[in-house]
Amino acid sequence: MKLDDIDKQIINILFQNGRQSLTELGTKVQKSNEESMSHTGVNKRISKLEKKGILKVQGNINIQSLEYNACFILMEMRSYEYIKKIINAYLECPRVFLLSQVNGRYNLIMGILGRDIEVLHRFINYCGPTNKDGVLHSDVLFVSEFKVPEYIPSNLFTPESRECDCGNICKNCEAFLARECDGCGNF
């Protein structure tokens, strides 16, 4: 879908402040003839952008404000089949905020969140994908601070633990049994 000037204006205004009312948005969006849009027109445009999968208005979090930490796991996978398995296994993990196939030495990158470095280490050592079949090599990069984006889309506070999706079962986990980990759903 090609975006026109009005779509771009709406997306830019929502990027600055996604909580604006439709009426406020309408006064800021300028049509080609210098007149502003109605709130109904803005609403229709936003709905169209959402239905096309171009726009999603949501609440994102600032992990620095929460004093959470993040890291990236770079993985060199044996084949595309193994990449798909890892992506499917961790797609719903509440700790994962990024999963992407990339090119270069590493062909998969995963971004994870935790309330402290120790939680990230436990994830990497017990729950993470680095010990899964098909991983040839991996590196972990700990993030000191996010500059851009300041807010990231992540549902840290989901009430459900999703450990069964990744194949790691908490009741069999050394860290969980030693009370060093509360499980995936307990941020």
| CATH for 12 | 1.10.10
Q: How many CB atoms lie within 10 A of CB 184?
A: 24
Query: Residue 120: pLDDT above 70?
Result: yes
Same domain? 77 vs 115: yes
One domain, residues 94 and 145: yes
Q: CATH number of the domain at 163, please.
A: 3.30.70.920
Measured between alpha carbons, how far is 152 from 31 in angstroms, rounded to an integer? 31
- Residues 82, 167, single domain; the answer is yes
Question: Is there a single domain that holds both residue 37 and residue 67?
Answer: no
pLDDT value for 119: 86
Peptide bond into 159 cis (omega under 30): no
In a domain? residue 56: no
Residue 59: what residue type? G
Q: Which residue has the tokens 């990069």?
A: 141
Higher-pLDDT residue of 184 and 14 is 14
CA distance 83 to 79: 7
pLDDT at 181 over 80: no
Identify whether 102 is part of a domain: yes
- What's this model's pTM, rounded to 2 decimal places? 0.78
Domain boundaries, position 106: 63-177
Find, among 126, 114, 116, the residue nearest to 174 by Cα. Answer: 126
Q: Are residues 72 and 47 in the same domain?
A: no
Number of other CB atoms surrounding residue 51 within 10 Å:
9
Question: Torsion over CA of 63, 186, 58 and 154, rounded to 10 degrees?
Answer: 50
Q: Which two tokens stand for residue 164?
A: 């069964």
Averaged pLDDT, 82-110: 92
Say if residue 17 is in the same domain as residue 97. Answer: no
Number of domains, the chain: 2
Note the pLDDT of residue 165.
57
Please, are residues 158 and 94 in contact by the beta-carbon 8 Å criterion? Answer: yes
Q: Are residues 80 and 114 in the same domain?
A: yes
Give me 102's structure tokens: 């990339």
Question: What percentage of the chain carries pLDDT values higher than 70?
Answer: 83
Q: Are residues 119 and 27 in the same domain?
A: no
The residues pairing with 114 across neighbouring beta strands, listed in sequence order, are 69
Give the pLDDT score at 76.
97
Q: Which two tokens stand for residue 56?
A: 């999603």
